[in-house]
Structure 1
């Protein structure tokens, strides 16, 4: 009798568990003046998590980065301008290493050997008019050596990578 209930429960629980881990093929995040399309995140170089479901991690990563990029974009862009990005590749700072049973999951080792990287295209719009556009491939090779980056914010190295790009590449052209 218990086996029937167990089988019946698995019929209802399995689809929910699979649906919860399903990830949109191209999620879109928006915050303030920034809209980002994350194109095929399953193909990104390294956005692996060690402690949570991959789908939840990706949602948290994309939302956090979008909000942090928006903070800098609101300073860099002029009133009425918006930033649209299509991210085609992302490599988080560090590298995932197996722990071989020492912990339940893998461990992200952050060393200067594994810098954050991103590949994307972007447009800066003013209303319906595109005033700036381009394709970028950015890397921060000195991400561990800048003293202003010593804090414990989530995705601090990736946020700084995008913020530096906005300050050095976009802001001067506007």
Structure 2
């Protein structure tokens, strides 16, 4: 009798174990001239949410950043050029702190000590030909002291991180 239950339990567990082995596809966001592949977001340093479903938060984060990067890229790139990025690590400004049940979720504390960071590779192509390519590891250590950032838009520090990179690193090369 016990053998039946063991066999039944193991049979029920097999599909679950097999489902865990299937890797999730990397999310890809594309707006205008920008296409970004977010590689293994579960391994990113810090993209945790404090008050919503993690998958929804990630979708909102990735789509917002892609849209904002596209706004700046359209100003810098020539009409036939396209920016492709593969983000391998990302860290939102601030740090998540537990509230120990004082609030419904954890709190993100934003201080100078916790700047936004990103690690990625990129290519800029024009009519299928690579114009510029490279690997970047960017951090904005002065993110709290820049006066143009006080607009209360979502992910303002992270958007400025990429905007500054485009203006200071990519634009001069083009």
TM more than 0.5: yes
Q: Tell me the equivalent position of 2:42.
A: 42
- The corresponding residue for 1:71 is 71
Structure 1 match to 2:140: 140
* 8 Å contact kept, 1:25–1:41: no
2:6 aligned partner: none
Distance 2:172 2:147 in 1: 24
Question: How many pairs are equivalent?
Answer: 152
Deviation at 1:102, TM superposition (A): 0.7
Which protein has the larger Cα radius of gyration, Structure 1 or Structure 2? Answer: 2
Alignment root-mean-square deviation, CA = 1.0
Distance 1:167 1:39 in 2: 24
Q: Helix, strand or coil: the match of 1:66?
A: helix
Shift of residue 28, structure 1, vs aligned partner: 0.2
Q: Distance in 2 between matches of 1:125 and 1:84?
A: 8
Q: What residue is the counterpart of 2:161 in the other structure? A: 161
Residue 25 of structure 1: how far off its partner (Å): 3.4
Tell me the SS of whatever aligns to 1:161: helix
Unaligned runs of 5+ in 1: 1-22
Distance 1:24 1:171 in 2: 35
The offset of 1:92, in angstroms, is: 0.1
2:112 match:
112
- Which sections of structure 2, spanning at least 5 residues, go unmatched? 1-22
Q: CA deviation at 1:147?
A: 0.7
Give the TM-score of the pair, scaled to structure 2: 0.86
Distance in 2 (alpha carbons) for counterparts of 1:150 and 1:124: 30
